[in-house]
């Protein structure tokens, strides 16, 4: 994490919360509305907390391995937009322009791992390469899927809205480790 994270994180939190408040009425009902923003908030807290623990306690890990790939792709966009697009799209085989960058990414030929770097690179492009903005983007995207799951479970068990909310959103292992 860098100094720019301190400035960009509050700005992007405001943007993500603005989107959440704008769509909340469409995706909630009177019983579920009270869980929407708190569930998103703990998801954001978990995303930032996980990054801090990996950086300051573990000193690295898979999260930062993915981020190193994202930094390479982000740098490629700064050097050559067309090369950045090729890397973002995962063009195979790599051409001469891409070799400078693909040599720095040991997961370029691993489709599953590289896909995570590709998605994170989209967040990096709109978040100026900031780790926390990328983490918030993943948390927001993950929350959208979790909310859809919650609503689906409510169709099966309509009276269990509070218990399902706790299980889907508020267990520490779910909101902390579930955003990676």
- What pLDDT was estimated at residue 180? 47
Give CA 123 to chain center in angstroms: 8
- What pLDDT was estimated at residue 87? 92
- What pLDDT was estimated at residue 90? 85
Q: What percent of the chain has pLDDT over 90?
A: 62
Q: pLDDT tens across 73-132, in order? A: 999 999 999 999 999 998 888 888 888 998 888 888 888 889 999 999 999 999 998 999
Token pair 């391995």 is found at 65
The residues, any chain, with a CB within 8 Å of residue 91's CB and separated by 6 or more, are 98
- What pLDDT was estimated at residue 22? 96
pTM over 0.85: yes
User: What is the C-alpha to C-alpha distance for residues 50 and 41, in angstroms, rounded to an integer?
Assistant: 14
Q: Has residue 163 got a pLDDT over 90?
A: yes
Q: How far apart are the first and last CA of the chain?
A: 16
- What pLDDT was estimated at residue 178? 61
**Mean predicted lDDT score pLDDT of the chain:** 90
Mean pLDDT in residue range 49-66: 83
- What pLDDT was estimated at residue 11? 95
- What pLDDT was estimated at residue 179? 55
């Amino acid at each position: 994490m860098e100094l720019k994270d301190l400035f960009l994180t509050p700005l992007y939190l405001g943007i993500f919360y603005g989107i959440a408040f704008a769509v909340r009425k469409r995706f909630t009902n009177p019983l579920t509305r009270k869980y929407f923003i708190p569930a998103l908030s703990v998801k954001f807290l978990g995303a930032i907390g996980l990054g801090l623990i990996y950086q300051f306690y573990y000193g690295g890990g898979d999260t930062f391995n993915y981020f190193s790939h994202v930094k390479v792709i982000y740098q490629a966009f700064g050097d050559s937009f067309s090369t950045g697009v090729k890397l973002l799209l995962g063009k195979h085989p790599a051409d001469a322009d891409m070799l400078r960058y693909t040599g720095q990414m040991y997961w370029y030929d691993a489709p599953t791992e590289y896909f995570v770097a590709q998605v994170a690179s989209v967040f990096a492009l709109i978040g100026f390469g900031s780790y926390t903005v990328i983490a918030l983007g993943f948390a927001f995207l993950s929350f959208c899927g979790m909310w859809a799951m919650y609503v689906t479970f409510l169709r099966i068990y309509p009276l269990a809205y509070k218990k399902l909310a706790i299980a889907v959103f508020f267990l520490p292992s779910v909101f902390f480790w579930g955003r990676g």
